[in-house]
Structure 1
Amino acid sequence: MTNPIDALLAEKGVLLADGATGTNLFAMGLESGDAPELWNETAPEKIVALHRGFVDAGADIILTNSFGGTRHRLKLHHAQDRVFELNRRAAEIAREVADGAGRPVIVAGSVGPTGELLEPLGAMTYGEAVDAFAEQMEGLKAGGADVAWIETMSSPEEIRAAAEAAIRVGLPYTVTASFDTAGRTMMGLAPKDIHGVAEGLSQAPVGIGANCGVGASDILSSLFDMADARPEATLIVKGNCGIPEFRGTEIHYSGTPELMADYVRLAVDGGAKIIGGCCGTSFSHLAAMRKALDSHHKGARPTVEDVVTRIGPLRNKIASESGAASGGEGRRERRRARG
């Protein structure tokens, strides 16, 4: 399998991934509870606008509109028999935008959790999980995705199943988890331990890291733990745009373009090689992040105290201060549209 990420990293040093899918699609008219994946067929012009907005802002990597593209997620919308075509169309739309960018842009096939629990906590077997992810990835590959982008994961077993599926399909893959529960994932995985999840598989991930979570400060703390554990890894951070705040019935994110620009500088200094935004990150945020990345020269490794001083307090404990995660698996549901 070719590795487009390493090739572009060799040219540019650090790559900028895109911003939010869900919050930007909601701004375009997506209703709460609707499947964004269906817009690949019913409103493709809006998905084109999403990708083009991020490419114009400077993204080196764009994620397909396929986060909930497994049959288990699509079943909620009576589309479980359309996995291949919806994922293929998601990749085709992103591929068209990337190919028209006039510069190299990687198309990453977004693969989110199934929403199911694996045995023994739930009914899904490991083999069934691999099959479900492979079915989705076959569509993404057929549509032109360069890499499987496995994201917002919580369960080590589900991460491994998705990784095995990518290998089966013949796609290089990245892995990011959401360390949103006292510095760990909801299933108790600590940032420093994510490197071991795919050990023993025939292909290692081409990038590994964290996305979503509870805020830019917290994800940087996770980055530092991952970097301490394996500094040579291609580390990814794709953090939320500040902190979510309810204003009436709507969620807004507190991060300004200036805050997200400083998050980029801190991430580079902390060892990240791929940096992007998750929930709440708009085109204007990403443009500020691009400008910061292009003008910044890597400096000394920051501390958590530096992060707090510059971009605000942590919302959670750090992983070293917490034990096994608490909280319900049902909290995954809020990530239905990824960002």
Structure 2
Amino acid sequence: MQNPIDALIAEKGVLLADGATGTNLFAMGLQSGEAPELWNEEAPEKIEALHQGFIDAGADIILTNSFGGTRHRLKLHDAQDRVFELNKKAAEIACRVAAKAGRRVVVAGSVGPTGELLVPLGALTYEAAVEAFVEQIEGLKAGGAQVAWIETMSAPDEIKAAAEAAIKVGLPYTYTGSFDTAGRTMMGLAPKNIHDVGETMPQKPVAVGANCGVGAPDILAALLDMSEARPEATIVVKGNCGIPEFRGTEIHYSGTPELMSEYVRLAVDGGARIIGGCCGTSFEHLAAMRRALDEHRKNGRPDIAAIEARVGPMRNKGAAQSGADSAPGGRRERRRARG
């Protein structure tokens, strides 16, 4: 299987992934509770605009509008029989925009969690999870996606199921966890152990890492754990743009372009090879991140004190780097749409 990410890293050193899907689609008119994936057929011009905005901002990797594209998520919208076609459309739209970029842009097929708990905590068997992910990834591959981008995961077994599906379909894959619960995923996976999840797979991941979570300081602290555990690994960080806050009935994210630029510099220094934004990250934020990445020369590895001094205090205080041994706890919001 071809691996376009390694080839582009060899050319550019560090890659910029795109920003938020949900935040930007809500700004385009998506309503709360609606499935973004349905817009692949109902409003493809808006999905094209999403990808174009990120490419214009300088993204090297764009993610398809397919985060909730398994039958388990789509059944909430009576679209469980349209998995293949909706994912294929998602990849086709992204590939169409990427082809016009005038430079190499990797199209990664976004694969989010099913929203179901696997046995023994829930009713979904591992085999059924693999089957659901195969169905989704087959559509993404048919539409032209070059990589399966498994993201916002909590359970190691669900990561493995999605990875097995990617291997069955014949796509290279990456995976990221959301370390938003006392420095771990909701199911207790610590950042330093993220590498171990794919170790038993017959084909290893292209990259692993973290996305979403609770803001730049915490995801950077998780990065330190991940890069210390395996310095040679290709690590992804795709952090939220600050902390969400309500203004009336609307959610706004506190991160500024300046904060996200500093996050990029710290991520490079901390060992990340792919850096992007998640919830709240706009085209403007990503353009500032592109400039920061292009202008930055790697410096010494930061510590937690340096991270907090430059991008603010951690929300999961004492969690990530020193707290990879902390007990999991707390709750996380189960997001319907990435970003």
Alignment check: 8 A CA contact 1:154 1:177 kept: yes
Aligned to 2:309: 309
1:208-230, Cα deviation, whole Å (9 max, x unpaired): 00000000110000000000000
The TM-score with structure 2 as length reference comes to 0.98
Q: C-alpha root-mean-square deviation of aligned residues, in Å?
A: 0.9
User: Counterpart amino acid of 2:168?
Assistant: R
Q: Indicate which of 322, 325, 334 corresponds to 2:328.
A: 325
Aligned to 2:149: 149
3-state SS, counterpart of residue 145 of structure 1: coil
Equivalent positions of 1:1-339 (< 5 A) are 1-317=1-317, 318-319=319-320, 320-321=322-323, 323-327=326-330, 331=332, 333=334, 335-339=335-339
User: Counterpart amino acid of 1:138?
Assistant: E
Alignment check: 8 A CA contact 1:115 1:332 kept: no
User: Counterpart amino acid of 1:17?
Assistant: A
Deviation of 1:332 (Å): 5.1
3-state SS, counterpart of residue 273 of structure 2: strand
1:53-105, Cα deviation, whole Å (9 max, x unpaired): 00000000000000000000000000000000000000000000011100000
Q: Provide the C-alpha distance between the structure 2 equivalents of 1:247 and 1:188, rounded to a whole number of angstroms.
A: 32
User: Counterpart amino acid of 2:328?
Assistant: A
Q: Provide the C-alpha distance between the structure 2 equivalents of 1:309 and 1:29, rounded to a whole number of angstroms.
A: 37
Deviation of 1:327 (Å): 4.0
Alignment check: 8 A CA contact 1:187 1:324 kept: no
3-state SS, counterpart of residue 198 of structure 2: coil
1:147-190, Cα deviation, whole Å (9 max, x unpaired): 00000000001001100100000000000000000100000000
3-state SS, counterpart of residue 107 of structure 1: strand
Deviation of 1:273 (Å): 0.1
3-state SS, counterpart of residue 272 of structure 1: coil
Deviation of 1:198 (Å): 1.1
Q: Provide the C-alpha distance between the structure 2 equivalents of 1:252 and 1:73, rounded to a whole number of angstroms.
A: 25
User: Counterpart amino acid of 2:312?
Assistant: G
Q: Provide the C-alpha distance between the structure 1 equivalents of 2:183 and 2:134, rounded to a whole number of angstroms.
A: 30
Deviation of 1:336 (Å): 0.9
Q: Provide the C-alpha distance between the structure 1 equivalents of 2:47 and 2:37, rounded to a whole number of angstroms.
A: 10
Alignment check: 8 A CA contact 1:154 1:186 kept: yes
Q: Provide the C-alpha distance between the structure 1 equivalents of 2:57 and 2:211, rounded to a whole number of angstroms.
A: 20
Q: Provide the C-alpha distance between the structure 1 equivalents of 2:168 and 2:103, rounded to a whole number of angstroms.
A: 30
User: Counterpart amino acid of 1:98?
Assistant: A
Q: Provide the C-alpha distance between the structure 2 equivalents of 1:42 and 1:177, rounded to a whole number of angstroms.
A: 30
Which structure 1 segments of 5+ residues have no match?
none
Q: Provide the C-alpha distance between the structure 1 equivalents of 2:221 and 2:40, rounded to a whole number of angstroms.
A: 35
The TM-score with structure 1 as length reference comes to 0.98
3-state SS, counterpart of residue 292 of structure 2: helix
User: Counterpart amino acid of 2:277?
Assistant: G
Deviation of 1:231 (Å): 0.5
**Sequence identity, in percent?**
78
Which structure 2 segments of 5+ residues have no match?
none
Alignment check: 8 A CA contact 2:182 2:330 kept: no
Alignment check: 8 A CA contact 2:235 2:274 kept: yes
User: Counterpart amino acid of 1:115?
Assistant: G
Deviation of 1:324 (Å): 3.4
Q: Provide the C-alpha distance between the structure 2 equivalents of 1:284 and 1:247, rounded to a whole number of angstroms.
A: 20
Alignment check: 8 A CA contact 2:16 2:276 kept: yes
Alignment check: 8 A CA contact 2:54 2:283 kept: yes
Q: Provide the C-alpha distance between the structure 2 equivalents of 1:332 and 1:48, rounded to a whole number of angstroms.
A: 28
